[in-house]
Structure 1
Amino acid sequence: MINVERLTKSFRGRKNVEIAVDDVSFSVREGEFFTLLGPSGCGKTTTLRCIAGLEHPDSGAIHLGEETVFRDRVLVPSHRRDIGMVFQSYAVWPHLSVFENVAFPLRVSQERMTRHQVKAEVRDVLELVGLHGLDERMSTDLSGGQQQRLALARALVRKPTVLLLDEPLSNLDARLRERMRMELRLIQKRTGLTTLFVTHDQVEALSMSDRMAVMSGGRIVQVATPQEFYTQPSSAFVATFLGGVNLLPGKIVRLAPWPDGRGTHAVVEVAFGEVTGLVGSEGLDVGDSVVAAIRYEDVRVRRATRDEELEENTFPGQVAGFLYEGASFDYHVDVGDHEIRARIGSRNEFLEDGATVATTFPARYLRVLTADDPAHQAAAPDGAGAADQTETVRIGADAEAS
């Protein structure tokens, strides 16, 4: 439903050209909830704005369904694209009632609707987002969560082909944000609307998405399902950006097929010994500098004696501190000169400060990844990606008014 091909967008400053979106390609399937995730400045919002028609790309192509909205000299203006959009600030009109805020897109639509039809469409979408009965209330009298629903209702009322969401939950408090995540996802499932969501919040992305793309430095680093991202990151950057992870720098000393035949395992020499894990990045070889990555909750820690013979991927350590988090303890364990964090269920044996422990990194959960994220290594030269835009044709007689 959304197809982006080799999209590039740069911004020219006084002294140089900053490339915000660098050769980005991805597709969103019909009915899918797809998320662009990344830190501030990674290009995710610029990508969304290009799809919405709010930014003019330098090069590439954008297709919405069967329609090409940007390519070469073709640029369909924003108001002619079959999209609905919810902004971070909601952008509800303070001088209009709830009903009039939602009715506005229908009143200015090229499709003529009777007053009765407008009223029926608005009432239906207000009921869908949980604002039924608030038709006549002024938008400024709504709570933050209600204003977010109002902005969503206004985007949905035209029944767009694609819904674009630009960090719509970031202005809500933590508890309301958690509730609205579920409500927004349920509304999307109920309508079956193809949705592109932009956020820097890992929990939002993991909990709401069918698939995700992590961006860094204007490029897409990895596209996968939330489960694949969490358990099979393709680089150290992705591993650290999503959830808590221990990174053990080292070098590959041996490679061999994984026992089940699906992948390759690597033996990595780290500061306190050799660890074995599954190769998670492409193109790695013996001698390469890598990081062995393992999630906090995948590390096993148990009380041990100093003269105990330890199993593979297990090393002696000492508890340096802990945080009690209710359901779990967050242990800080010194293994050699390296601090390891382990999240252990609070129903397990309590390990006090200074306790001698055996720390295990299960090989099936340890991922061997490139030491550096390639997105940070491929800086484009000044001016790269700029395209000749002098003959761009705007489609639509009233395009300039947009």
Structure 2
Amino acid sequence: MEKKEHLLGSRRFLPVFLTQFFGALNDNVFKQSLLLVITYGLIQQQSASISTLNNMAALLFILPYFIFSATAGQIADKYERSFLIRNIKLLEIVIMLIGSAGFMLGNLWLLLIALFLMGTHSTFFGPIKYAILPEILKPQELMSGNALFQSGTSIAILIGMILGGVVISSSGGNLLWISMTVVGIAVIGYLCSRFILKQTVRTPELEVDWNVFRTSFQTLKYAKSLPVVFTILLGNSWYWFYGATYLTQIPQLTQQNLHGNENVVSLLLTFFSVGIGVGSLLCRKIGGTEVNIKMVPIGAIGLTVFAFYLAGSLAFVPERTGDFIGIAQMFSSGMSYYHVMIAVTLLGISGGFYIVPLYAMMQAYSPRSHRARVVAANNILNAVFMVSSAIFSIIILSILKIDIKILFSITAVFSAIFTFWLLRSLKPKLKNAHIALED
């Protein structure tokens, strides 16, 4: 506990933590608000199905990671990182003004453009924030720092999704309030970034290649030359495929399977986010401060078992007609709803167990001179897996018209197969690897 309090009270860690926190918060306020105005028809320019639009929105947010991550990694290794963060946060304010115009004009396409730009903003911020952590933390603080980062991000996601749902639900269709919210959060994030300490520039001589396709190929090729690191990156990316498959469907699951309103969407996302936060903190407490893989198998088992639990719970939810139910009605509507909430929470806890060690290992085993570019390779692979998740979900739900419970079950089976391969491949490689932090 003292270690965590020390980090959160530290000038080297706290401004980075808060800047990341408010960035994740705004991402999720905006994304959640957009999903809700699509799902509940608050914007009328919808020519496609709700499922297709929701998965298209997820795809648009992730697409920049695939296109720009390699360039972002080079920039993060070449230039001073606190300066880069401040300018990226200024761009977030501009992007949220564009999104606000989309809300106020009721223009879905303007909102989707803003969503793509927010994805671009996050693409350039990602390599910087994860490359900074090993620079500002001591080796024995890396697991704690990543646990706090993941927990803080989970809390930000939780608050963002709740806040987005509450503002949309309580504003009576007046989207001025959500516009003011996202712009205000962007301003707070920029102010926090002003306090980030100046960072050492590791490779100022690096020549940035602006050909995004060539750079992406070279970045992935370099990551692939590091067997341990590349296997870890694949493990990270599977988590984002899995998470995107579940989180993107929660609004539709709530509306069609639970017959719940916007507040029920926020409640389920709350349970999931709280679960990730709890899992992240428990992972550090149980797994220790040393960078290790001990908690990953436990998380992997949970991601499969509790996915089946969720699918089974949905099968027992009774069909309803009439108005959408709220949170109070859901709590009084039988045990099947409680099982859904428990399953979602346990999935979140399992995700925390799974992802915290892998992110710490990614940072620890990456060469100092190429750390941001390794994170960029991670983001490219994450994007490929998340875009694949969106396409996979569209095919299952919109084209093949298969039930969402089957989608969750198929994903659970894939998760078991993938993580079995991951752990079998990774453990022998770790024995011959060295930690870059100790060089």
Same fold (TM over 0.5): no
Higher strand share: 1
Higher helix share: 2
Q: TM-score, normalised by structure 1?
A: 0.24
Bigger RCO (CA 8 Å, 6+ sep): 2
Q: TM-score, normalised by structure 2?
A: 0.23
